[in-house]
Amino acid sequence: MNIFSKGLDKFSGLLKIIGAAALTVMMLLTVVDVIGRFFKHPIFGSVELVGFLATIVVATALPYTYKVDGHVGVEILVRLMSKKKQIVLELVTRTLTFILFCLITWQMFLYAMDIHETGEVSMNLEFPIYYIVYLLAFGLLIFTVTIIESIFQNIKKLRELKTK
């Protein structure tokens, strides 16, 4: 494992911890808000805060989840293929995923810049939304870099199969 992969692993681990903390805060906020609603004292802006925290959870969990293959996948037919065909299919899929998330990341940064310029804020708390969108775009950027790493790993596996 090279320095780039180790650094990406550490960074993904840090993002994972941030995501876990955001999920915990989201859970606690929801519990306190529900209890507060029972006693006629809900937390002002809790719906917005939960939405922001959910975005943080997604942005920080994507790289790590992808790295450990934690996403749901259907492999019934793929398992019947030869090892080489499986790797080629994975390479094609990851390349298409990379292209898609490059476009999504780019557009997310453009969207963040656009709402930063317009000064858009959340409805109740009047929190600048562009902070959350930039954070999501950054998480998507790290996710895209993780996809690149997995593409190179697949190419390495394919070369190893050819030499055998």
Report the SS3 class of residue 116: helix
Burial class (CB in 10 A: 0-12, 13-18, 19+), 148: middle
Residue 50: predicted pLDDT: 96
Low-confidence ranges of the chain (pLDDT < 70): 1, 164
CA 125 to chain centroid: 25
Cα–Cα dist 151/99, whole Å? 12
Q: What pTM does this model have? A: 0.88
One-letter amino acid of 96? L
The predicted structure's pLDDT at residue 27: 97
Angle 40-41-44 (CA atoms, 0-180°, nearest 5)? 135
- Residue 77: per-residue pLDDT: 82
pLDDT of the residue at 164: 67
Quickly list H helices, the chain.
3-38, 46-67, 83-118, 130-163
Interatomic CA distance for residues 48 and 37, integer angstroms:
16
